[in-house]
A and B are shown apart, each in its own frame.
Chain A
């Protein structure tokens, strides 16, 4: 389902297997646990790179699992459960005491895109993979903390409209032009991972204090933090 490996200073979190890497309660629990592991093992110079195998980075929540509840109410409850239990994953990313980089091997949709954007840097492939907020096409509302994240990370109203209201499928170069991702220069999954490793190593070389890094990150996004119930911990020492 997902693995965490260490390559020098870099933690590599991989959503494994050739499936859609949908966020289901079990996946959510596993990812959260691996993020907590990375946090507990973090030192100066640690960096997280998150990627996945196959055609998808993540295609969002497991809607099939929600539907298999057998009733409309049951399905809605399961959706709600996933939306709520996903918050700690986003919080964990926000509190992670190290720079975070998403290396998109493929498509990132809905909560999969939310997951990607919750990283400090997002790299896409040039040749494959789209960003897609599928909710509008599926008739689903946007969770409030998703909306806060997109508002904070996507700077122009045009870019937000394209992604959130128009239900557009954005390829790499378009996503860079709209300021949604940092780079879409690579023509393969290996290429994009390599590019993020390169960035990761240059960030690692700074040997930043992870607690300070996380604190500054949170202060950059006060509305998102408020929605996640995160406060910037400021502990003054004499």
Chain B
């Protein structure tokens, strides 16, 4: 489901396998374990997290098919993702998403929950798909979107046109920090950036604390948004 490797000071979390890396409870638990492992590592305040994936997808969002067969899992997935994002926000180290495939809805959200987003230019898009699949966007997702996408027009394009944002367009919109040639080049660039950040001598605890302060509004909304679990439908299912 996911692997965690350490390369010097870089923790590399990889969503493995050729599937869609849907954020179901199992995968979310696995990622949570990996983060816990990272936190307990003594070198963590002087390290970097890079999150990446294999195959065509970074993550295609919540496991909606699973939620169809078992609706009680909808709030479970939402709660676990909230917890993960809060975890990432407080993580005592810089975080880099090396987006090597499509990132949709909750998968897009996960990518944006990193400090840096690097993305391959040759394929793949960021896609807030909810409008196209008749789901509303939870308030806490919107809090992340408002924090990470600065221009009102870009936010509107992302959520109200469900634009499929390529890496270069993402750079234009200020969502992506840099676009890279291929999947391998994206990971390489993330590693290079990570090593640069390590050389800069980050005190992870201070870094994590400052990030929490910066994203205080997001944390508050994550904590208080009880308007609905992720994947709430307005009307009949399109699936």
Contact = CB atoms under 8 A, between A and B. Distances in A.
Interface of A: 99, 120, 152-155, 179, 182, 203, 206, 208-209, 211-213, 215-217, 219-220, 222, 232, 234-238
Interface stretch (B3-11, B153-161, B181-189): B153-161
A220 B142 contact: yes
6 contacts: A155-B150, A212-B130, A212-B131, A212-B135, A220-B156, A234-B228
A203 B161 contact: yes
Interface in B79-120: none
B227 to A, nearest CB: 6
A237 B130 CA distance: 16
Nearest to A237: B233
Interface in B149-206: 150-153, 155-156, 159-162
Nearest to A211: B234
Query: Which residue, A120, A179, A206, A220, has most C-beta atoms of chain B within 10 A?
Result: A220
Contacts of B160: 99, 120, 213, 216-217, 220
Please provide the 5 A-B residue pairs with the shortest distance between their CB atoms, ordered closest to farther.
A215-B136, A236-B232, A211-B234, A155-B152, A212-B234
B218 interface: no
Interface residues of B, number: 28
Contacts of A182: 153
Contact of B159 (A179, A209, A216, A236): A216
Nearest to B145: A220
Given A203-B161, A209-B234, A212-B235, A219 B142 contact: yes
B234 A234 contact: yes
B139 interface: yes
A153 B131 contact: no
A128 B223 CA distance: 49
B46 to A, nearest CB: 36
B134 interface: yes
Given A179-B151, A211-B234, A234-B228, 5 more contacts: A206-B162, A216-B131, A219-B159, A234-B136, A234-B234
Interface in B203-239: 227-228, 232-237
Contacts of B139: 219, 222, 232
Contact of A212 (B136, B150, B155, B156): B136
A153 B139 CA distance: 18
A108 B160 CA distance: 24
Contacts of B234: 209, 211-212, 215, 234-235, 237
A123 B225 CA distance: 35
Contacts of A153: 152
Nearest to A122: B153
B1 to A, nearest CB: 29
B18 interface: no
A237 B235 contact: yes
B235 A211 contact: yes
Contacts of A152: 152
Interface in B124-145: 130-132, 134-137, 139, 142
A220 B155 contact: yes
A119 to B, nearest CB: 11
B71 interface: yes
A120 B156 contact: yes
Contacts of B131: 208, 212-213, 216
Query: Which residue, B135, B234, B237, has most C-beta atoms of chain A within 10 A?
Result: B234
Query: Which residue, B152, B159, B161, B162, has most C-beta atoms of chain A within 10 A?
Result: B152
